[in-house]
Structure 1
Amino acid sequence: MADPSKEWGVYFSRTHQRPYFRSSVTNESLWEAPPQLSREQIASLPGAELLTGGKPAPKVPSQSSEKISASHLLIKHRGSRRPSSWKESHVTRTTEEAYEILAGHYRELVPGSTGPSDEGASVPNPKPDRALFEQLALVHSDCSSHAQAGALGSFGRGAMQKPFEDAAFALQPGEMTSKIVSTDSGLHLIYRTA
């Protein structure tokens, strides 16, 4: 049997201002230590210093105080950090199924396209109809921001997961990502609003 201490790490929730445990295998997050770990194993986990009052890694300093605003359409899958949403208490779809759902929304937003571009392709970011994007997010997004038509408000660097941040900051206002963006939360289409 594999050593359970190899799959767990300690992370810091900036929202709740406290450490938590996360499995790299199941993406399960726990506020309390996993019961199968001994004190010695817990002390040796990556990030264990956070449990004894160690400080989380500082936020990446911004080159500027630039803030942007964006909306997104999130489709979760069973490998998502929290595989549940306002629509489903337990998301069971695969990453591939989530991708196909989001690709369908992309085709609806960008008429005439065959879908989002591949990872290696360099394709201009489309400028879809904002009202249609907001309507799709309102109905289909697995994020609680669906209630605000996917709007996340304004944010600076260091506030979002790195792949999301990089994609959002690369957009101009009115543009949507030409690729589907993958984060620990799931798969996203991102629309920069300002």
Structure 2
Amino acid sequence: MTTGLPAGWEVRHSNSKNLPYYFNPGSKESRWEPPQDTDSEALKHYMGQYHTANLRSDLDVQQKLEGKIRCAHLLVKHAGSRRPSSWREAEITRSKDGAMNIIRNYESKIKSGETSLGDLAVTESDCSSARKRGDLGFFGKGDMQTEFEQASFGLKPGEVSPIVETQSGLHIIERLE
């Protein structure tokens, strides 16, 4: 069965996010969104056939998630970030101080109750998780950068972190589960 993807592209499965993604072994490019020139009808059929969730018993799910937590985050990148680009901007040129001012503004809006982290993440986060309200899904120890992991595991469900700095940029993290 054809995937509907352009030549050189294949569907792979992310272990950390438990989601399919698109990969081109020739160029080493990976992306969450289908590449340009994809036959979306063929891809939809292929994904329905081969990448739908398997129904598992609650016990299997519980065992698989043991020791894991679920968080959402809002990421603001800067020119010194590990990958200074995002779905919002091809090249991020803002300074670290500029990014800090932006995320402090978001932090005050979240703390005041003016908006939620999820609502802000959809339009403002530099992470591809923005389309899922910043939800990163379940992850365990060793799956994330150290600073992010320590902050996440230090939260109780429903709590929001102060600003956390990693190689990826500046984050505000909300523990969901």
- Shorter-chain TM-score: what band? 0.5 to 0.7
Equivalent pairs: percent with the same residue? 45
**Structural RMSD (CA):** 2.0
Q: 1:6 is matched with which residue?
A: none
Q: 1:162 is matched with which residue?
A: 146
Aligned pairs for 1:29-178 within 5 A: 65-111=66-112, 132-178=116-162
**Secondary structure of the residue that 1:91 maps to in structure 2?**
coil
Instruction: Please report the TM-score for the alignment, with normalisation by the length of structure 2.
Output: 0.62
**Secondary structure of the residue that 1:110 maps to in structure 2?**
helix
Kindly provide the amino acid, as one letter, of the partner of residue 160 in structure 1. Answer: M
Segments of structure 2 that go 5 or more residues without pairing to the other structure are: 1-13, 16-27, 29-65
Q: Deviations over 1:91-123 (max 9, x none)?
A: 000111101100000110112xxxxxxxxxxxx
Are residue 191 (structure 1) and residue 174 (structure 2) matched?
yes
Q: Deviations over 1:6-64 (max 9, x none)?
A: xxxxxxxxx79xxxxxxxxxxxxxx8xxxxxxxxxxxxxxxxxxxxxxxxxxxxxxxxx
Q: 1:115 is matched with which residue?
A: none
Q: How many residues align?
A: 116
More helix, by proportion? 2
Runs of 4+ in 1 over 4 A off after TM superposition: none
Q: Cα distance, 1:150 vs. partner?
A: 0.2
Q: Cα distance, 1:88 vs. partner?
A: 0.6
Q: Cα distance, 1:81 vs. partner?
A: 0.5
**Secondary structure of the residue that 1:187 maps to in structure 2?**
strand
Q: Cα distance, 1:132 vs. partner?
A: 1.8
Segments of structure 1 that go 5 or more residues without pairing to the other structure are: 1-14, 17-30, 32-64, 112-127
Instruction: Please report the TM-score for the alignment, with normalisation by the length of structure 1.
Output: 0.56
Kindly provide the amino acid, as one letter, of the partner of residue 188 in structure 1. Answer: H
**Aligned-partner Cα distance in 2 for 1:132–1:166:** 22
